[in-house]
Each structure stands twice: as C-alpha cells, then as structure tokens.
Structure 1
Amino acid sequence: MAERLRDLSQPIDVPLLDATVAAFYGTGSKEERSAADQILRELQNNHDTWLQVVHILQNSQNLNTKFFALQVLENVIKYRWNALPVEQRDGIKNYISDVIVQLSSNESSFRKERLYVNKLNVILVQVLKHEWPARWQSFIPDLLSAAKSSETICENCMAILKLEILLKFFPMGSYQNLTLQCLTEVAALQFGDFYDPQYVKMYTIFMVQLQTIIPHGTNFAEAYTNGSSEEQSHIRVLESAPANRGGLLMGLEYLIGISYVDDTEVFKVCLDYWNLLVLELFEAHHNLENPALTASLMRLQPTLMPEVVDGLPSPLVQRRQLYSVPLSKLRTLMICRMAKPEEVLIAEDENGNIVRETMKDIDVLVQYKIMRETLIYLSHLDHEDTEQQMLKKLNKQLSGDEWSWNNLNTLCWAIGSISGSMMEEQENRFLVMVIRDLLNLCEITKGKDNKAVIASNIMYVVGQYPRFLRAHWKFLKTVVNKLFEFMHETHPGVQDMACDTFLKIVQKCKRKFVTTQVGENEPFVSELLSSLSITVSDLQPHQVHSFYESVGQMIQAEPLPAKRDEYLRRLMDLPNQKWAEIIGQASHSVDFLKDQDVIRTVLNILQTNTSAASSLGTYFFPQISLIFLDMLTVYRMYSELISNSIVEGGPFASKTSFVKLLRSVKRETLKLIETFIDKAEDQPHIGKQFVPPMMDPVLGDYARNLPDARESEVLSLFATIINKYKIVMMEYVPRIFEAVFQCTLEMITKNFEDYPEHRLKFFSLLCAIGTHCFQALIQLSSQQLKLVMDSIIWAFRHTERNIAETGLNLLLELLKNFQVSEFCNQFYRTYFLTIEQEIFAVLTDTFHKPGFKLHVLVLQHLFCLVDSGTLTEPLWDSSTVPYPYPNNTMFFRDYTIKLLGSSFPNMSVAEDNKDLYAEEAAVLREQERRRMLSIPGLIAPNERQDEMLDS
C-alpha cells in the first residue's frame, strides 16, 4: 500500500490515500495509525507531491484528505513559490480562484463546503502575499467583479479580506493601500450598474463589510486623505457627478433598510459605516470655522473649491444638500434603535417585563457610545431636523400611535444623548417641550408598569441636562420634588434611579440648593432637612446612603461655616440619635453589641457617615470627632469577638455569617476614617488628633490578630495618612512598621496568590513611607533594611501589574533618596549589583512588559550614578574578582556585558509589545479628549468635571 502511494510518477491512488488519511485520524488500529502517519509525512516531504494536489481535490470525497492536499500546496506556496515557473504559478492561482467561486456561488454548496472554502481562502491569501500588487494588479477588480455575482460570493470576498493572516502579514500602510484600492475600484466601476437593484444591494453589503476589516484607527476618511489625487477623485465621483448620485442615494437607502434588520451583528456593521460617514461630513463642516484651514484647502484643491457661496465652499454646500434626505432618515434610525445608556437602571427584559438592571452589558455600552457620537454629529449637521424628529416621535407616544416601552425608551435615550450639542436657547425650548410632554404622558397613561417606565425616562432625561436645570430654578425644584415622590415608589428600580438622578443633579447644581432663591423663604437644603425623615422613610439602606451623599454635596457648597455646621448637625441627627442609643445600651451591657440586628444597625450608621464624609471632606470634622472614640471602642470589642470565635471554632469560624458581619463593621470603620482623611484638606492637626488613638485599637489589633482576621484596610488607611500628612507622621512610622511589616510579609510572600487584597495595599504603604518618611527607613537595622529591599524585589517580580509598578516606583524613590544620603556608598555597595541583575531579569522576560519604562528608569539611574563618580567605594568584592578595576565605571561595564551575555537566554521579547507604548497611548487618548471637548455635546455635560463649573 505504501509503495503505491509513494510512486508519484503516475496519478496517485486517491481511494487508497483516503483510506490512509482515515486510518491516521483514528479509524484504524494503533499500528495502522502509526503506519499512516509515516506515509503522510513522506508525502508531505516529497517535492513532487504538490503536482498531484489538483487530482486529489477533484477525486477525493474525504474532507481530511482535501485538507492534507491543501496543506501540501500551502507549504509549496510559502517556501517555493518564487522558484516555480510562471505558468505553474498562474495555474495554481487560477485554479484556487475558480474553485472558490464555484463553491461559493450558491447558498447550498457554500454552507455545505464552508470549512473547505475557508481553507481555500487561506491558500489564496498565501498566493496574494507573493503576488500583490506587483504581479496581480487585477486582484481587487477581480474580487469586486465576483462579489456582485451573488450574496454568498460577496460574503466570501469579505471573508478573504478580513482573514487574520492577511491582517498580520501586511504592514499597516500596505493594508491601507489594499483597502483604499477596494474603495477606489468600487467607485470606479460602471455607474450604470448602480441602477440594477441586485448590484446596489451587493455594493452596499460590500461597502459596509469593508469598513469592518480596516484596522482599528483607519477609516474611509483617512483612506481618502492618504490617497493620490486620482484615487481621491474616484472616491468623490459618486458625489460630484449628477449621473451617479442616484446610485449613491439608492445605495444609502438600501443601507438604511438593512440597518433596521433585527440582527445585532448586522446593525453593528451598519453602525460603523454610518458613524464614519457622518464623522467625515461633520468634520468637513466643522473645519470651515477655521478660515486658515479653508484657505489651505483651497490652495491644495482649487478645482474642488472654485467658488464660495454664502461664506461656504460650494462643493461642501452641495454635499450637505446631497446627503440631507438620507441623513434625516438616519436620524430616525438612530432614535428608533438607540442603545441603553449606562445610567438607566430599569428596562424591559426579554420576557417583556420591567426589571431593574443588575449587570452592565459592555457590548451595549460600546454600541451606545458609537450611536451617541453619531447622533451628536447628526445634530450639529442639522439641529432643526434633529429636534423635529424627536418631538414628532414624542407626539406619537402621546397619541398612542407608537406607544410602547421600547419606543419610549429609545426615544428618551436619544434625547438625553444630544445634551450640550444645541445652542442654550434652542436646548431650553426643546427640553421644556420634552418634559411637558413626558409629564402629560405620565398623567394620561394607566398602569404601574407603564408609569414606572415613563418615570424612569423623565429621570434620565432631566439628569442629562444640568445646564438647563441651573438656569431654571422653579423647574429644578419641581424635578427634585418629583424625584422625592419617586423615592416612595416601590416598583423595581424606580427608587434606585431616583436616588442616582438626585445625586447626579446635585453634583452639577449644588450651589442652587444652598442659596435662597427668588420667591423662597429659605434655601432648599434647609427645607429638605426639615422633612428628611419622611423623604427617606421608604428607601433601602444603600439608597439612604446615596441620599446622604447627595445632601452632603449640597452642604459642602455652603460658604458660611456656621450654617454649614448647622446643616451637618441636622443631616446627621437621625443616625446620631440611633448611635447614642446603641452606645448607651452598650455601657450598661456589652452583650447588647453582640446582637446581629444591632451589628447591622451599627454597620448602617457607619456607612451613612462614610457617604456624607465622601461629599463633605474637611467639613465633616465636627461629625467624625463626635463619634470617633466610641467607634474605636466598638472596633476593639468586635475584633476581640472575631479572634475568640476563630480560636474556639477554628479557621471555619471566619466564614460564618456572624464573623463576616463583625468584620464588615471593622472594615467600614477603617473606610470611614480613610475617606474623611483622604477627602479632608491637608491640615496636620487632624492627623495629630486622629492617629494616636488608633495605635493600639487598630495597629495593635492588626499585629495581634490571626492572619485570616487581619483587615487589609488597615494598610491602606495608614498609607493614606502618610501620603496626606507626610513628614508630620515620622514619629509614628516605627510603630507602624513594627505592627504591620513582618507579619504581612509572612502572609504574602509564600506565593503569588494568597491574600490578594493585602499585597497591593502593603506595598502602597511601604511606598508612602519610602517617599515621605525616608529617615525612618535609614534608622532600620541592616537586617530590617534587607527585608525591605527583598520585599521590593519580590514586588516588582510579581506578575500582578499594579504590585510590580508600585514596587518599581518605590525602588526609584529609595535609590534617589539613598544617593543624597550619608549612607550612599554603604547602600549601593550592598544592593547595586543585585538590583541591576533583578531588573534585567524582569526586563527580559515576557511577563513584565508593562513595567518597561520603569525598568529603564531604574537602569538609567544606576548607569548615571556610576558615571557621575558619586560612588567612592568599589562596587566589586575583591575576594571574588581576580584583579582590581581602575574605577567603578570600568567594572560596571565589564560586569554588565558578562551579565547580559551569560545570564539571560530569554532576551528576545515576544512580538506583542503594545504594553511598551502605554505612555504614547495615553497621549493619544488625551488628544482625543481635547478633540471631543472642542465639539459641543460630544462629552456629555453630566460627565464633564473641570470643564463645566456649577454656577
């Protein structure tokens, strides 16, 4: 059998080959599989086997056999292509192309032979890599010509272009040239064909699919910009020639229709195209506001801009007129299919029920972002049409013609998405009509579910327009009071959305609430505090916390200290009464604090305080001072209960609901203190007041506790304290170091997995000490300092990026500080070579690429230190170095060369080096943000911070 297959002087025995392949894939015995493997390897290695490929493909019925033959052919194309005669190269090229067209020409054969066709596509791309563009200039025209034959051929043409192998092979510039040629050829085809509906459909599918395969960051506009004059004119010919505009508009009409198809993937593809088209049209319009740019364009393309009409270049006026109808229809499409924004908490589920959203759908959020940007551009291109489309849709909700939850949701999400894109006067008029109609809709609509949907949409829309609310006090007050009504509505999600919207509005309008407005007897915040207990009576604890954060934002905006303190006292009156009651009961019987309902109440009170502290910062000082010492007493007691439970019940006790509840109180106590200190101004007296009382209840407790009972928040709290008060904390550092250092290292250095929360927080604390209290490290013993350095090395060798970067930043800070200290020579003589070796180890592996810049900075510091002559003692050990060096520079150069030459077999870093360019990516992101800020509405008003001041 083997001999018959090895004899390639005559046509190969295909049935026998089928049997051999079948044996190899497991239908035979172990011996048969081994024999088949040997035969197939010999055939693969035989340089003449490829000549039998066509014969095999035409006669075999076994898909695996066909794949074997194609693998043989692929190897020939990869490694021997240029050695083949031209006739053979053309024969292979034409045969593969013909088979692909034949199999993908109708739906049945295409679906049935899909795997086979996919492999043929890969083979064709291998040919393309050698032939295009020099020896196969007609590839794109051939592809496009085939694409209009049928939908399945068009689909497969796209599959060829988007093959990953193609994307990886071609450099970015070459791939842009390839896609640009596609655009050019599509535009250059005979335009009479555009009036053939079948061709228009194929053209539309092709253009939409084409955009999905262009690499990220490239778009049609860029392709146009990078193209030659001839290529640009081909792309513009559809717009500029009257005879061709009908075809262009018909193609866009088809694409609008396709965009309504109820298929997410199809819509995503269409949306990408619409986004690019509208962006290009908007930028052409937007750039006209820059006279210098307009003049530059006229110099570069005088034939495209022969005259100016009403201050605008006439071709651009014509373009806007040309696209006005399809863009109007596109606005309708965007409104009808608007994706759900992140802020919306209640929506319709797949069963038609109103539910509270509990998870974020990242795909939907990405889709919303693209749709929102598209609608912003559409709004800028024609504000009037955008407004009229939305009001028309809203009227159809009121009339009942288009009433449905989904229709109302998408409409209101679209209305909210264009906030900031209109002139203020137009936006005010528009929003008044929108809110009026929505309130009317809420009045006339029956049913709790229906009203919940409308309420949700009212809250969403008003939350998106803070500029309007700031300018209209009565309306703002009405909206907030309406939110207070919704806070009593127990329908799922309504209370959450009311609280979230209240916080969003207060953050942007807080000064309005502490100022006595015209027609009012007192500031709104005072009125609110008088009825606080009633307003929050139906809210869940987490909603109450959100409410307290919102009111804290208001109080923070009060400029008069006396009023501010009074408002704070009134805000905290309810939780303080409950707190005083609990502490009073505990003073008579400590066991009262062990009741689980009491523990939950204590936790809730602490969380309420944390929420208020997050808004008030320094101004929260009177409140935290009031409860601070009692809070530490409760902390100490609950810690003892936890320890006793674990001692009595073993490790399992730490998993019980009772212990978890106690630990939640401890963590919230630490979180409250850290939140206040982090948000408060840098006032040393605060640190001096709060740190000493925490030494034993918090630090001592951490040191005494079992590892499983140590709260990682202790580490982050003291890191925050040292970062905040810096050198003022110097006297406390030895105690901090003694309490947390060695016991935490024992927890986290056994492996890279245990106690993940403690890891980063520990190194953040160490970094804070090294940065702001360096003198405390100098006072350590040599053994303690070695422990510090070992832990730093362990940190930057960690595979967790944040831990590694924290370790590297700490190392850099210590190196700089030791350089200017009296211990410079002593320190570097001990650690210089170890640091260099360890840094090179992480620099040259594949796990620490994100730290590349910091690795280089550490090495730069070491190199410069040696060259500067600062080190006056030799870095080498004379007992191990055979001969003395004239200076450290010569030794260091020699040592580094030997180190690199002998120690690092992994010097070749992997191909994916995107992490090395994180800084450049950050610059690009900042440039994009500045661009977005230059376009009104592109960054939503409720998302802007420094750029939008509350006035």
Structure 2
Amino acid sequence: MAAEKLRDLSQPMDVALLDATVAAFYGTGSKEERTAADQILRDLQNNPDMWLQVVHILQNSKNLNTKFFALQNLVLFTSVVLEGVIKYRWNALPVEQRDGMKNYISEVIVQLSSNETSFREERLYVNKLNIILVQILKHEWPARWRSFIPDLVAAAKTSETICENCMAILKLETLLKFFPMPSYRNLTLQCLTEVGALNFGDFYNVQYVNMYNVFMVQLQTILPPTTNIPEAYAHGNSEEQAFIQNLALFFTSFFKFHIRVLESTQENISALLMGLEYLINISYVDETEVCLDYWNSFVLELFDAHNNLENPAVTANMMGLPMPLLPSVVDGIGAQLLQRRQLYAVPLSKLRMLMICRMAKPEEVLIVEDENGNIVRETMKDNDVLVQYKIMRETLIYLSHLDHEDTEKQENRFLVMVIRDLLNLCEMTKGKDNKAVIASNIMYVVGQYPRFLRAHWKFLKTVVNKLFEFMHETHPGVQDMACDTFLKIVQKCKRKFVIVQVGENEPFVSELLSGLATTVADLEPHQIHTFYESVGHMIQAESDVQKREEYLQRLMLLPNQKWSEIIAQARQSVDFLKDQDVIRTVLNILQTNTSVASALGTFFLSQISVIFLDMLNVYKMYSELISSSISSGGPFASKTSYVKLLRSVKRETLKLIETFLDKAEDQPQIGKQFVPPMMDPVLGDYARNVPDARESEVLSLFATIINKYKGAMIDDVPRIFEAIFQCTLEMITKNFEDYPEHRLKFFSLLRAIATHCFPALIRLSSQQLKLVMDSIIWAFRHTERNIAETGLNLLLEMLKNFQASEFCNQFYRTYFVTIEQEIFAVLTDTFHKPGFKLHVLVLQHLFCLVESGLLTEPLWDAATIPYPYPNNAMFVREYTIKLLGTSFPNMTAAEVTQFVDGLLESRNDLSTFKNHIRDFLVQSKEFSAQDNKDLYAEEAAAQRERERQRMLSIPGLIAPNEIQDEMVDS
C-alpha cells in the first residue's frame, strides 16, 4: 500500500512516507526493506511527472537525502529538456508554477548561503541548487529573466557568503557554455564591476580574485592582449564600445579594492600584470576618463609609500602594522616597497608614455582690450579639460619621482634635444601660421626650466636672442608670448645678465641696452611695458650702485627724452597737453615707469625724482579738465572717450607713486620726500572734485602710504581724514551699488589708520568717531563680500585697540550693545554667511571682554533700566537672551538661555565657541542643515593650505613660475 501510495503522483506526495523510504534505502532498515525502497525510488525517477513533486518535497522533507533525491529528479528533468526528449515541457507549464519554482530555489539558495554554518555544512546541496538555478535560467533568459545579473548583484551585496556563492554561479561551466559570448562577457563584467566595489574581508577577496582569474582567461579569448583597443573601439558597434567602457570600470573598481591580494601570490601576479596591460591600452580611448582617475590614485599610493621610505612609522601606519617597529620590521618594509616598485616597473613605464601622449591642454590665455582701452590677458577655461590636464600632469610628476631615468628627467639631455629639434623645425617650416605655432612651443618649453637655463649661459643667451627675434614677428600672439617668456626667464635668471660671462666683454644687460631701440621697435605699448619690466629686474640684480644707476639711465633714456619734450612744449602752451595723442603718449610713458618701478623698488628713486613734480602738475591740470568737463557736460561726460583718457593718466600717476612707495624699502626719508608734495595736488584735488571725478586710487595710495610708514603718518591723518572721509561717505552710503571701487578702498584706508595710526582716531571728536563707527557698521552690513570682510576686520582692529587704551570704558559704554546687536543681525542673516568666521571673532572678543573685569563702568543705561545689575556679564547675558528671544520667536526661552550660557562658558575656546554658534544657527532654522559650506569656510581654507603645503613638498607639483619666490642665482 505504501509503495502504491508513493507511485500515485496525481496528488501531493506523502513526504513523511518518502522520507522513510529514503531512510530505508540508505541502510536504516532490513535488506528486504532496502531492496523494496530501491525499487520504489527507481520507479519514481522513471516517472516523467516526478519533477512536479520536487518543490513540494523540498518544502516539507526533514531528510537531507530526500532533498538530494528530489533535486536529482529536477536535474534529470532539465537535462532531458536540453537533450530534446521533452523539449517543451518547461515552457508548457503554467506561469505560476514556473515562477514558483524559480523563486523558491532562489530563496533556498539565499537562505542557505546567508549563514556561514549552513553554507559550509550544506555546500553540496547549495551547489546542486546553483546548477538547477542555471538550468532554469537557460529557459527564462532573456525574455522572462532579464534581471538575472542585477538580482545576482543585489544578493551579493548582502553578505560575504552569499557573495562567494554568486561568484561560484558565475564560474559554472554550464553558464559559460549557455550564454552567447557577447552577452556572457557583458553580464559577467557588469556583475564583477558592481560586486568588485564591495569589501567583505580577506576571505572574500580571495574568492573574488579566483573569479577574476577565470574572467581573465575568458577575456584573452574574447579580446586578445595584442588587440589595438583604441582602433577596435573606434570601429566597433555600440555594444562593443559599451563592453570596453565596462571593462575599464571593472578593472579600475577591482584594482582599487583587491590589488594587494593579487600582489601577494606569485600565481596571481601574471593575471595582475595582464589586467594592467589591458587597462593601459583602454586608457588610450578618448571616452575612458575613469582610467585617468584610477591611474592618479594608483601612482599616488606608490609614490606615498616610496616617499615615506625614510619614515617607517608613516609607512607602517599605512600598512596597518603595530607600533613600535623592530629594526627587522623596518628593513622588511623597505624591501617590500622596493619589490613593489620593481613589480610595476614595466606598467609604470608604459603609463608614462600614456600620460605624455594623451596629455590634455592647459588653460588658454587670450590678449584682449578692456573697456578702458587697456590690453589685458583673459584666461579661457574649459573646466572639464582643465581638470583632466591637472590630473594627468600630477600623475606624470609622481611617475617622474618614482623613476627619474625612465622619465628622462635629465634636463640637459631633454631640453637640448627638444629645443634643438624645435629650432630646426622652425627653420624648415613654411608659412607664418606654422612658424608661429612652433615658436609658441619653443617659448613655452624654455619658460618651464629656469634652473637649467641658469646653469647653461650659452644656451640661455641663445634662447633670449631667439625671443628677441620673435618680438619682431607680427603674427598674432607671438610677440605677447615672447615678451611674457622673456619676463619669466629674467625673473628667475636675472643675476646671469649683469655679470661678465666667460668669453664676453660686457654683461648682457649692457649689450641689450645698446640695441634697445631696435629690439622694441615692432612691439605694441603693452608689450614694451613688459619688456621694460624685464630689464628692470636685470638692473635690480646689479649690486654696484654706480653701474645700476648707469643702466637705469640708459633704460629710461627714450621715455625720458619724450617726457622732456612734452613738458617743454607744455611750458610754451598748456593747451599742448590737451591733445589726445599727447595724452596717450603721457599715459604710455607713465605705464613704462610703473613697470620699471615694480621691478626696481627702492632703486627707482633717481628716476621717479626726475619726473615727480612735473607729473603732479600734469595730474592737477588733467584733474581740472575732467572736473570742468563733468560739471558742464553732466554725469554722461564721465563716459566720453576724452574724459576716460584723461582719467587713465590720473590713475596711472597714482599707480606709479603707489607702486614705487610700496616696493621701496622702508626708508622714512622717502616718505618725507614724496608725501608732502602730494597733499594738495592729490588729496586737495580729491576733496574739491565732483564725485564722478574722484579717483578711488587716491584712497588705495594713502592706505599704502600709512601701511608703509605707519606711526610716522599720525600727524597727517587729520588732513587725510578731512579730505576724504565725509565726501567719500556721501558717495557710498546712498545705496549699495554706486562707486564700488571707492567702497572697498575707503574701508581699507580706514583699517590702515586704525592699525597703524590709532592715536589719531582717539583725537577725533565724539561726532567724528560716531561717523567712523557708523561707517564700519554700514560696511559689514554690505552684501559685497570684500567690503563686508574689510569692515569686520576694521571693527576687530578698533575693538582691540580701544580695549588696550585709556578710553576703553568710554568707548564700550557707547558702542558695546550696538555692536553686539548689529553682529547678531548679520550673523543670523543668510546674506552674510561668508562673514561667519569674523562674526564669531567679534562675538568672542565681546564675551571675553565682558568677563575679563576690564570694563569697570556699567554698560547699561541707568536712565532706562531702573535696577542695577550685579555686573556687566549678567547684564550682557540677560540683554542677549532678550535680544535673541525677540528675534527668534520659534525658539523656546530655555533654548535661547541655553545658547547664551553656552557662549559665556565656551568663550575662551574658539573651536567650541564657533561650533556652539553653528548649532544655534541650524536650530534657529535660519540656516538649513545641508547648505552650510560658508560656516565651515575657515576649515576648508585650512585644508586647502595643508594641500598646498603638501604640493610644495613634492617638487614639480607646483610649477616654478607659480611659486612666489625670488630665485637668486649663484
């Protein structure tokens, strides 16, 4: 009866009875029982409907052997299907049965694989399930199970053991044979790429590496290593191109997380090097920028390890080794790092060639004319290309440090060969456009290697003479680049031009000055200014005073002759100065002087003394012309080309004086010689002029003078204050838009006075001081960041200086409450977020001061507050609670009180004080929890500075011409 009951498959099987039959077959019963059980099981296996009972058996059986028996039937069934015996049985099943079986087997696999113990104990069972899953996949993919790979990836992300089993499924031979190769490689690659970003630990890494090795075997048959991948990509269809792009993602993802595992065993190294070879070839494809990011991180990691060879502690920390280190461990680390560099020697050499061949373009510079007719440089930036350039350049620099010889970093061999070839190419090439391109290449290359030029005089002289030739080439851009390159080279090699070199009769600068007129004959005015600045740097390097003065006179001979002619004509008829061509010539002469002054500094004294008084007279005359033109012609008169030209001369006069005084050494006699004569022609003129005719450069000039001569200017501050303060405030406080240049420069001047001439501010009347404080408050309320920041810095200077003065109580009794109220107003206003750092410093100063005991007089007004406070700290606490409670009705009294108490408690710890305020701003809902980058701008700036210091510590990361140092030649 039992046997007949089991053989009847028209209804769900009695699983308990089947378990007993299987148990009897495996030896728990008598011989007769085992024989009977064997016959029953054979009959069931031969029954074509047996597979329909499989899911039912798997769900209800308690016997592992029974489950195997059921699975064998399912395997048998699917294999029969594949052989074509019952080819269409699966597809003939109802959808519910197909989905039920597919989902059930998937769930059982996940359930058994998710637990380490069950996964190990029932590994054979899981392997059977994997095979069955793939057999089902063959019928379901792609039409009914296109999500197989995404499903596999999603499962793999949940645990280490599930991920290991997913890798095992992908390695199944039946899967490899079933999928069409393009589909298999793309689907497998997709899975490997996504799962490769996971990191479950060393055991998982080993399993993943095994899968990687299997994939590499397959890849070499699909895409042989000798394939020209860029060409294959260019001529491939969309699917083939997608495969190469996915291959790049796979390699970069895999190597990022698992390269150390591949390095650790000899049998994996060949697969590792093969993968790197593929990735280098793929990197030549234009659409694979992801490779460049990976190469940068890969080379940086090798460089950091190499760079820290002298610091084993840093290297050990990177490798996760315990401290302190034994000497034997230190030696072992060094040997291991050297071994890694040797391992990657060939790929790194090929990578250097890749970076050189595919180097992106740096930023481009155009020469344009601005609204005032001045020639300026405008940088054109393609952000994507520029980012790519910076990554590749940085990578190549790291590669250079890892192996100088392979990068051919020896400057003499590299430069002489390149420049020689370029010079020869320039001679051979036909057509001005082509010659110009080669010329720009020559100039760019020589400008990058000042150290080499300093060490090879003949080569340096050849280069400079070639630049002089290019200065006569009128092709657009060539002359500009020649002058710029000349300046760059002179700044770094200036000493070489003022000494007599071996085999020569005179210094190069003397030879240059003799042919000066011929050299600059074809240059535009702005190019001449650059050239004169370059020669000024040469002259500055001359230590002999007499020779230096002689060179300066020879340099300025042409502009001085022209200046003398103009002044002589003006003495005959002042109207001569009104001619527009004369005005342009005057402007050009002044600009030439400014260029030389910027290079010579103090040594320009003799030259500026020659033209100074006449220059002030011209300034005064042009100022009167401007003022009368604007007075008679109305506000639009200031926009006419004639008035603009006149104002350009005034501005250049102020710029020349400011440049000289700023660059000159701190010698009081220079200030005494030049400042008094300017008081009326410059300051008086500013006060007398109509607003539209006042030059903002006057404000910056006197700010420079005060910053330069500091306390020596105290007696002049009242005169300066009287001339500029009231009239400038009237210009800039009507709104936040008019006279933008005057705004910033005005507050910069005030800050200079507060910093260096504070006693002069103390002497102001109370009304004048109130005007100063009102203007400071107005400044930090400004929505223009530079103006607000300058106002806040000025306020801090004032607060500190008054705290240290005998007027401390008087000042703070008048302004403490007002300042606190105004600072809280801008602090909690999202328009002023960039000022957060300075807002915090001002508040910290106020809260520290009030607790310091320095304020001995009450801050509150006894006339309005009927009861006295025990001390100023208690008054400030209650005032602040009331102020914030009124301003933020959405916050409870307890929240406000807690914030104010926190300010007082953390006042001596800036970091805690700052974080406390940040938390309040978010809590008050004035600032969102996400967009708060301005609140952390100080920390971000510190991070940028740390990054800059790191870059400075690695030669080459910052270009020599970007490092602001004066490289003095030996």
Name 1:191's counterpart in structure 2: 213
Unaligned 5+ runs, structure 2: 1-106, 112-136, 171-180, 225-240, 368-376, 890-920
Of residues 955, 964, 967, the one that matches 1:936 is: 955
Q: Counterpart of 2:743 in 1: which secondary structure?
A: helix
Q: Counterpart of 2:831 in 1: which secondary structure?
A: coil
Of residues 279, 289, 296, the one that matches 1:255 is: 279
User: In the alignment, does 2:472 pair up with 1:488?
Assistant: yes
User: In the alignment, does 2:555 pair up with 1:571?
Assistant: yes
User: In the alignment, does 2:428 pair up with 1:444?
Assistant: yes
Of residues 253, 260, 266, the one that matches 1:236 is: 260
Evaluate the alpha carbon distance shift between residue 887 and residue 511 of structure 1 in structure 2; reply closer, same or farther with a 3 A threshold. Answer: same
User: In the alignment, does 2:688 pair up with 1:704?
Assistant: yes
Name 1:666's counterpart in structure 2: 650
d(CA) in 2 for partners of 1:749, 1:154: 69
Deviates more, 1:144-153 or 1:693-702: 144-153
CA deviation profile, 1:18-48 (whole Å, cap 9, x unmatched): xxxxxxxxxxxxxxxxxxxxxxxxxxxxxxx
Q: How far off its partner does 1:708 sit?
A: 2.1
User: In the alignment, does 2:969 pair up with 1:950?
Assistant: yes
1:650 maps to amino acid: G
Q: How far off its partner does 1:856 sit?
A: 2.1
Of residues 509, 521, 546, the one that matches 2:530 is: 546
Q: How far off its partner does 1:934 sit?
A: 3.4
Of residues 754, 768, 773, the one that matches 1:770 is: 754
Mapping of residues 318-717 of structure 1, within 5 Å? 318-342=339-363, 359-387=380-408, 422=409, 426-717=410-701
Q: How far off its partner does 1:138 sit?
A: 6.2
Does the CA-based 8 Å contact 2:363-2:379 persist in structure 1? no
Q: Counterpart of 2:407 in 1: which secondary structure?
A: helix
Number of corresponding residues? 758
Does the CA-based 8 Å contact 1:307-1:313 persist in structure 2? no
Task: Give me the TM-score of the superposition, normalised by structure 2.
Answer: 0.71
Q: Counterpart of 1:288 in 2: which secondary structure?
A: coil
Mapping of residues 736-751 of structure 1, within 5 Å? 736-751=720-735
Evaluate the alpha carbon distance shift between residue 159 and residue 858 of structure 1 in structure 2; reply closer, same or farther with a 3 A threshold. Answer: farther
Does the CA-based 8 Å contact 2:167-2:207 persist in structure 1? no
d(CA) in 2 for partners of 1:209, 1:777: 66
Does the CA-based 8 Å contact 2:454-2:460 persist in structure 1? yes
Name 1:921's counterpart in structure 2: 940
Q: How far off its partner does 1:940 sit?
A: 2.8
Of residues 770, 792, 797, the one that matches 1:813 is: 797
2:356 maps to amino acid: I
Unaligned 5+ runs, structure 1: 1-85, 91-100, 111-116, 162-174, 215-219, 225-233, 347-355, 388-421
Q: Counterpart of 1:257 in 2: which secondary structure?
A: helix
2:497 maps to amino acid: F
Q: How far off its partner does 1:922 sit?
A: 3.6
Q: How far off its partner does 1:273 sit?
A: 1.4
Name 1:825's counterpart in structure 2: 809
Of residues 821, 839, 863, the one that matches 1:855 is: 839
Does the CA-based 8 Å contact 1:252-1:326 persist in structure 2? yes
Evaluate the alpha carbon distance shift between residue 307 and residue 857 of structure 1 in structure 2; reply closer, same or farther with a 3 A threshold. Answer: closer
1:196 maps to amino acid: Q
Name 1:15's counterpart in structure 2: none
Name 2:928's counterpart in structure 1: 910
Evaluate the alpha carbon distance shift between residue 718 and residue 235 of structure 1 in structure 2; reply closer, same or farther with a 3 A threshold. Answer: same
Q: How far off its partner does 1:478 sit?
A: 1.3
- The percentage of aligned residue pairs carrying the same residue is 76
Does the CA-based 8 Å contact 1:148-1:202 persist in structure 2? no
d(CA) in 2 for partners of 1:184, 1:855: 55
d(CA) in 1 for partners of 2:214, 2:322: 28
Deviates more, 1:454-463 or 1:277-286: 277-286
d(CA) in 1 for partners of 2:857, 2:433: 81
Q: How far off its partner does 1:882 sit?
A: 3.2
Name 1:270's counterpart in structure 2: 291
Evaluate the alpha carbon distance shift between residue 616 and residue 363 of structure 1 in structure 2; reply closer, same or farther with a 3 A threshold. Answer: farther
Mapping of residues 126-275 of structure 1, within 5 Å? 187=209, 189-197=211-219, 205=245, 234-263=258-287, 266-267=288-289, 269-275=290-296
User: In the alignment, does 2:773 pair up with 1:789?
Assistant: yes
Does the CA-based 8 Å contact 1:211-1:272 persist in structure 2? no
Q: Counterpart of 2:588 in 1: which secondary structure?
A: helix
Mapping of residues 20-169 of structure 1, within 5 Å? none
2:828 maps to amino acid: T
Q: How far off its partner does 1:626 sit?
A: 1.0
Evaluate the alpha carbon distance shift between residue 582 and residue 257 of structure 1 in structure 2; reply closer, same or farther with a 3 A threshold. Answer: same
Name 1:300's counterpart in structure 2: 321
Q: How far off its partner does 1:925 sit?
A: 3.1
Evaluate the alpha carbon distance shift between residue 936 and residue 611 of structure 1 in structure 2; reply closer, same or farther with a 3 A threshold. Answer: same
d(CA) in 1 for partners of 2:555, 2:200: 66
CA deviation profile, 1:476-523 (whole Å, cap 9, x unmatched): 111111111111111121111111111111111111111111112111
CA deviation profile, 1:695-734 (whole Å, cap 9, x unmatched): 2222222222222222111111111111111111112211
d(CA) in 1 for partners of 2:742, 2:863: 41
d(CA) in 2 for partners of 1:142, 1:941: 53
Q: How far off its partner does 1:941 sit?
A: 3.1
Q: How far off its partner does 1:244 sit?
A: 3.6
CA deviation profile, 1:633-668 (whole Å, cap 9, x unmatched): 111111121122222222221111111111111111
d(CA) in 1 for partners of 2:359, 2:509: 36
Q: How far off its partner does 1:681 sit?
A: 0.9
Q: How far off its partner does 1:295 sit?
A: 7.2
d(CA) in 2 for partners of 1:701, 1:466: 47
Deviates more, 1:853-862 or 1:630-639: 853-862
Q: How far off its partner does 1:307 sit?
A: 9.6
Evaluate the alpha carbon distance shift between residue 822 and residue 561 of structure 1 in structure 2; reply closer, same or farther with a 3 A threshold. Answer: same
User: In the alignment, does 2:843 pair up with 1:866?
Assistant: no
CA deviation profile, 1:174-229 (whole Å, cap 9, x unmatched): x99899999999656442012333799989745855899x9xxxxx99x86xxxxx
With CA pairs under 8 Å and 6+ residues apart, which has the higher RCO, 1 or 2? 1
d(CA) in 2 for partners of 1:904, 1:826: 31
CA deviation profile, 1:134-169 (whole Å, cap 9, x unmatched): 7999699989999996899899999999xxxxxxxx
Task: Give me the TM-score of the superposition, normalised by structure 1.
Answer: 0.72
Q: Counterpart of 1:666 in 2: which secondary structure?
A: helix
CA deviation profile, 1:454-497 (whole Å, cap 9, x unmatched): 22212111111111111111111111111111111111211111
Evaluate the alpha carbon distance shift between residue 947 and residue 538 of structure 1 in structure 2; reply closer, same or farther with a 3 A threshold. Answer: closer
d(CA) in 1 for partners of 2:525, 2:204: 59
d(CA) in 2 for partners of 1:699, 1:930: 43
CA deviation profile, 1:374-430 (whole Å, cap 9, x unmatched): 11122223333322xxxxxxxxxxxxxxxxxxxxxxxxxxxxxxxxxx4xxx32233
Q: How far off its partner does 1:449 sit?
A: 2.4
d(CA) in 1 for partners of 2:635, 2:867: 58
d(CA) in 2 for partners of 1:708, 1:157: 70
Q: How far off its partner does 1:686 sit?
A: 1.6
